[in-house]
């Protein structure tokens, strides 16, 4: 337990704190051309457990009422870093009720607690931040005494792909399902990518979720998995702005988008 003052305290979350954590998630959204609300229903605590081998989740509590005002955590999992399989710690879920954004500053204490709880595992720490989440970017990128340095590595883009249409084979074959040969393909290539998982079997994936491309001589050239996480992790569109507001009225399902 880490007391901030007589009104608030930081504690390690327990499974029974899921309802309070979900209220924090429901409170805010990421504004932009497409405004998004990030949720982990029906059980946020278990949802984070699904993401790794261990979860260190902190909650900020009102000492008088017991209400959960904020949360943040670290997901520990084995991943490849520069070709070496090691423990990594993904910092995620940093949220606070909008009514307390400027009333509570506990980020230093939170990082200290997370560091103490995960020290024996010596993980490589990293995080990702939505481009529209400017408060988090400004808070983390600014050097602060008592805070670990946040080193910006780059930007990545998530694309929305249509599911319809036909493609010419060009001598290639597109296959579905998991095989021993595909397992060997992943074992060879996953270590070449930083922060790639220990193996291809991420939580909830089944054999029929895998797809792979073969050349005309039978060699596997590429593979992927369709990973549906909607049962425990959701991005919910809460509004549109700019040109997206007009696009939201178009029948995009007819073009193959879900």
- The predicted-structure confidence for 63-82, as pLDDT tens digits, reads as follows 999 999 999 999 999 999 99
Domain 2-158+235-255, what architecture?
Answer: 3-Layer(aba) Sandwich (3.40)
CB 117 within 8 A of CB 56: yes
Is the torsion defined by CA of 15, 54, 197, 209 positive or negative? negative
Give residue 126's Cα distance to chain centre: 11
The percent of residues in the chain predicted with pLDDT above 90, rounded, is: 59
What pLDDT score does 106 carry?
A: 84
Q: What is the pTM of this model?
A: 0.85
- The predicted-structure confidence for 186-240, as pLDDT tens digits, reads as follows 999 999 999 999 999 999 999 999 999 999 999 999 999 999 999 999 988 888 8
- Return the number of other C-beta atoms located less than 10 Å from residue 68's C-beta: 22
**Where along the chain do its domains lie?**
2-158+235-255, 173-225
DSSP state of 30: B
Rounded Cα distance between 108 and 35, Å, is 29
**Which tokens go with 155?**
């930007």
Question: Phi first, then psi: what are they for 254, rounded to 5°?
Answer: -65, -20
Find the range with the poorest average confidence among 15-24, 39-48, 80-89, 137-146: 137-146
CB 44 within 8 A of CB 25: yes
């Amino acid at each position: 337990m880490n007391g901030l003052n007589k009104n608030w305290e930081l504690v390690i979350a327990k499974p029974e704190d899921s309802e309070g954590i979900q209220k924090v998630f429901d409170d805010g959204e990421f504004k932009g051309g497409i405004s998004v609300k990030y949720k982990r229903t029906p059980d946020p605590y278990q949802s984070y457990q699904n993401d790794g081998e261990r979860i260190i989740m902190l909650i900020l509590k009102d000492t008088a009422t017991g209400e959960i005002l904020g949360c943040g955590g670290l997901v520990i999992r084995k991943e490849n870093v520069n070709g070496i399989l090691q423990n990594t710690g993904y910092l995620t879920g940093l949220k606070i009720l909008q009514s307390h954004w400027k009333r509570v500053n506990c980020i230093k204490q939170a990082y200290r607690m997370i560091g103490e709880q995960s020290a024996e595992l010596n993980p490589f720490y990293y995080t990702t931040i939505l481009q529209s989440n400017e408060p988090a970017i400004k808070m983390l990128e600014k050097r602060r005494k008592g805070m670990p340095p946040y080193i910006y590595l780059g930007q990545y883009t998530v694309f929305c792909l249509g599911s319809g249409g036909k493609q010419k084979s060009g001598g290639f074959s597109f296959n579905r399902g998991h095989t021993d040969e595909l397992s060997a393909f992943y074992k060879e290539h996953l270590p070449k990518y930083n922060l790639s998982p220990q193996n291809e079997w991420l939580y909830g994936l089944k054999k029929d979720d895998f797809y792979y491309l073969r050349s005309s001589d039978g060699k596997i050239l590429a593979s992927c998995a369709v990973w549906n996480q909607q049962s425990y992790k959701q991005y919910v569109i809460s509004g549109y702005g700019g040109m997206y507001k007009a696009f939201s009225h178009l029948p995009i399902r007819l073009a193959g988008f879900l």
